[in-house]
């Protein structure tokens, strides 16, 4: 793919080790590796996977930039909503799933301190050892007075009393890829192609459970291919059963089911990210390239409902952040013609623009407690579309 930059020799050697691990797994499974297992290994295999090895992932030197990396005003706005959630939770804790560089945690702690609304504890569930270390450095450097409140865990706490944050997390959980061809339901997987000496797609009949899920969600007629993400749904359901008071806030790119499984979206949403470029080859440089699929927010809302969570609201990112006061926070940076304002305005525009992140990214609120105020959904609430 000549439009993408080539990895340096060390990175290419690392990817070759990842491919060798994948090839061994394919052989051990008789030549067929389900795509969800492929994605799991490519992203999370200890010491090898994209999120489990030491390469930079976020920021200018990485492969993508998340909203918290762009501006602290994102966390300042989110803090308004988190404050309302903590107000109804006696335990006043925050659990963040996959904290990236730690930027959201640091900025959110500072913003909550400014509101006199600090959590009792800020728990980070992070599977990547190198990201944990990066998070520690960021938090100690940028939010030193509050660093003692932060703890890292390998598994979810048995009970959660407060706010759970999933910011661009569910899109990176391994997905099944399912195809309907005529009357046949097929699960897509990965094989090793000896002729090309490369990883390649392959298919086998889908088991009854996976076929039933796809049949319930895919359009009624025609050949079709898309993703199903039971792992994301199971995670949300598990979290929902652990929340005693409070709510979960999910921010990610995705659609309600009617748009996710639209007849014209018949090739799915799976994509890779490498050096700030999107591509559609999931076998490109495993271990170096991120893999994601859009989130089916209808399925996530249903998973929350199974665990006793109510949909508090569903909106595009732009109205959510505006409802939480991001434009007021921007105005507080200085006069509109000041250098500080101009510098702060550029990332805010990207967060809010329908042509950038403002419409593609969605926010879903799932509440255990009914008394929470939701300023984020005060300007728009599309829960009826879920």
Q: What is the DSSP string of 253-267?
A: EEE-HHHHT-TT-TB
Q: Half-sphere exposure (CA, 13 Å, Cβ side) for 57?
A: 26
d(CA 341, CA 343): 5
Residue with tokens 């609120």: 365
Report residue 185: phi and psi, to 5°: -105, 125
* Residue 127: per-residue pLDDT: 84
* Residue 54: per-residue pLDDT: 60
Report residue 223: phi and psi, to 5°: -65, 145
Q: Half-sphere exposure (CA, 13 Å, Cβ side) for 128?
A: 29
What whole-number percentage of the chain has pLDDT above 90? 91
Residues 210, 218 contacting (CB under 8 angstroms) = no
> What single-letter DSSP state applies at residue 68?
H
* Residue 55: per-residue pLDDT: 54
Query: Whole-model pTM above 0.85?
Result: yes
* Residue 2: per-residue pLDDT: 46
List beta partners, residue 153.
Answer: 125
With CA atoms as reference, report the closest residue to 138 among 80, 46, 59, 81: 59
Whether domain 58-269+289-385 has CATH 3.30.70.100 = no
d(CA 16, CA 219): 39
Residue-wise pLDDT for 276-298, tens only, equals: 788 999 999 999 999 999 999 99
Rounded to the nearest integer, the mean pLDDT of the chain is: 95
Residue-wise pLDDT for 65-80, tens only, equals: 789 999 999 999 999 9
Is the pLDDT at 39 greater than 50? The verdict is yes
> What single-letter DSSP state applies at residue 284?
S
Is the pLDDT at 327 greater than 80? The verdict is yes
Who wins on pLDDT, 4 or 216? 216
* Beta strands 121-125; 93-97: pairing state: parallel
Q: Which two tokens stand for residue 282?
A: 């999931």
pLDDT level of residue 58 (50, 70, 90 thresholds): very low
Q: Which two tokens stand for residue 294?
A: 């859009």
């Amino acid at each position: 793919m000549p439009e993408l930059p080539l990895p340096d020799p060390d990175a290419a050697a690392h990817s070759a080790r990842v491919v060798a691990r994948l090839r061994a797994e394919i052989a051990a499974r008789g030549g067929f590796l389900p795509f969800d297992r492929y994605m799991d290994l490519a992203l999370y295999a200890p010491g090898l996977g994209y999120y489990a090895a030491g390469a930079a992932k976020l920021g200018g030197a990485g492969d993508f930039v998340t909203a918290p990396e762009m501006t602290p005003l994102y966390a300042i706005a989110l803090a308004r909503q988190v404050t309302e959630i903590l107000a109804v939770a006696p335990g006043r804790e925050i659990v963040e799933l996959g904290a990236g560089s730690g930027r959201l945690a640091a900025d959110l702690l500072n913003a909550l301190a400014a509101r006199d609304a600090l959590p009792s504890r800020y728990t980070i569930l992070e599977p990547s050892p190198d990201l944990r270390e990066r998070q520690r450095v960021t938090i100690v450097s940028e939010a030193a007075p509050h660093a003692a409140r932060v703890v890292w865990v390998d598994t979810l706490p048995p009970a959660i009393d407060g706010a759970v944050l999933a910011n661009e997390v569910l899109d990176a959980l391994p997905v099944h890829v399912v195809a309907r061809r005529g009357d046949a339901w097929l699960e897509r997987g990965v094989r090793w192609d000896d002729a090309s000496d490369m990883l390649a797609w392959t298919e086998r009949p889908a088991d009854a459970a996976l076929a039933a899920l796809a049949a319930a969600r895919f359009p009624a007629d025609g050949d079709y291919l898309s993703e199903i993400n039971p792992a994301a749904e199971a995670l949300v359901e598990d979290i929902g059963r652990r929340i005693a008071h409070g709510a979960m806030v999910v921010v990610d790119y995705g659609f309600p089911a009617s748009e996710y499984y639209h007849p014209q979206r018949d090739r799915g949403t799976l994509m890779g990210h490498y050096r700030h470029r999107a591509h559609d080859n999931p076998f490109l440089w495993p271990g170096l390239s991120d893999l994601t699929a859009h989130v089916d927010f209808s399925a996530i809302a249903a998973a929350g409902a199974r665990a006793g969570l109510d949909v508090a609201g569903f909106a595009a990112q732009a109205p959510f952040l505006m409802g939480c006061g991001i434009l007021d926070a921007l105005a507080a940076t200085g006069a509109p013609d000041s250098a500080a304002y101009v510098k702060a305005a550029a990332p805010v525009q990207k967060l809010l623009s329908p042509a950038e992140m403002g419409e593609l990214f969605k926010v879903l609120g799932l509440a255990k407690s009914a008394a929470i105020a939701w300023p984020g959904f005060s300007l728009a609430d599309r829960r009826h579309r879920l």
